[in-house]
Amino acid sequence: MSTLIQQLGKQAKEASRVLAKLTTQQKNEILVQAANALLDHSDEILKANAQDLERAKQNDMPKPLQDRLMLSQARIEAIAKGMQEVAELEDPVGQFVHMEKRPNGLYMMQKRVPFGVIAVIYEARPNVTADVFALCFKSGNATILKGGKDAACSNLAIVTVLQQALRQAGITEHAVQLLEDNSRETSRELMRCHDYVDVLIPRGGAGLIRSVIETATVPVIETGTGNCHVFVDDSADLDMAVSIIVNGKTQRVGVCNAVESLLVTPKNAKVLLERLDQEFSKYPVTIHAQKELLDYVQQNPKFEATTEDWKTEYLDYEISIKVVKDIDEAIEHINCYNTGHSECIVTQDFKHAEQFLDEVDAAAVYVNASTRFTDGHEFGLGAEIGISTQKLHARGPMGLQALTTTKFVIYGNGQVRP
């Protein structure tokens, strides 16, 4: 292992022991100071972000990804507000989740404690830098950040401000560290830094997540891609359906909770597609649909869908559309092709709603609401460190509680095991 990774890991482990001793009040006060520091240094952060954006344009980065990369004064204010909201959230550290007195007189309790050191590897979203710091710090964890090279200047500027705020508060700056070396070998070493890293969380596209899962030897919490579906049932209110689909597809396309696939029954297919064709033309949205549906599309780019489309997370103004005969076929299709993220049914049939909620395998399942709500802020968790699509430990938007583990605390009075 390289000297750099060993140094970062050792510093993070030492910092985690300091953070574990902080009171909730201390953590909250420091978070507010750090949020204010971001606002005070917003000009420097925006200048750094402008460098990243200029490089992205020169490299022909897709516009949806440029949007994820871009910071503005309003976005920095939103980041700072998110950190302040985390400070206001209940601190999970020290909470008891189970208490009992055993027959032998032992008092056995299980309480929440920090993981220790959390490493996060992520792509071109500089807001993640501050979000991860806030959540890890509040939950008592030190963090090592490995951001994408596309956001290198922005990430460095944000971490520099955060570390300065920590020093001014009398706390080690190693509570948050940025791995600036973008080489693949260094990234692999971080993924294998078992002596120092307790949990590794990847945030990004399918390629990044697959690479981390295949390479890492430290425990990984998989945050997933989002091939999210909307199923429009026979009984659906079509005005509601159009509103939900358009919001899910176009409100922000480069995010994991955007709608990528639409399933519709034969009863509603013609009317729904004609209405969506009109609404989508305002953007416009490219439609990948079965051959028999293409006649209903007049104003938007269109292609005959293939099996590959059912699997695709477009992260762009594109959507796949398929006719399914009933709710059973819809559920079967979703469970075959979804990524375990967010799924929606639009229906007025209570039994169908309950069946969809019970049988669809995903972290978040909606009845008559946009999948765009799958988000830490919207779920009342404050900033999120990611949306877990796995089933161990945490699932869905991961807030403070998901960044803790538990340990057993036992009080005795001289008991020995017979």
CA dist., res. 98 & res. 221, Å (int)? 24
Specify whether the CB–CB gap between 344 and 316 falls below 8 A.
no
**Euclidean distance between the first and final Cα of the chain, in Å?**
46
332 and 322 in contact (C-beta within 8 Å)? no
Rounded to 5 degrees, what angle do the CA atoms 93, 95, 101 make? Answer: 140
The pLDDT value recorded for residue 394 is 85
Exposure letters 216-238 (e unless 16+ CB within 10 A, then b): bebebbbbbbbbbbbbbbeebee
What is the pTM assigned to this prediction? 0.85
Number of H helices, E strands in the chain: 14, 16
Q: What would the pLDDT profile of 257-288 be if each residue is shown by its tens digit? A: 999 999 999 999 999 999 999 999 999 899 99
Give me the DSSP letters along 311-366. H----SSEEEEEE-SSHHHHHHHHHHH--SSEEEEE-S-HHHHHHHHHH--SSEEE
Which region, left, alpha or beta, applies to residue 25 given φ > 0 means left and ψ of -120 to 50 means alpha? alpha
Distance of alpha carbon 27 from its chain centroid, rounded?
23
CA distance 343 to 261: 10
Domains detected in the chain? 3-223+398-411 (3.40.605.10), 228-373 (3.40.309.10)
Please state, in angstroms and rounded to a whole number, the distance separating the CA atoms of residues 364 and 373: 9
Distance of CA 162 to the CA centre of its chain: 21
Q: Which residues of the chain have pLDDT under 70?
A: 1, 382-383
pLDDT at 345: 98
CA–centroid distance for 277 within its chain:
30
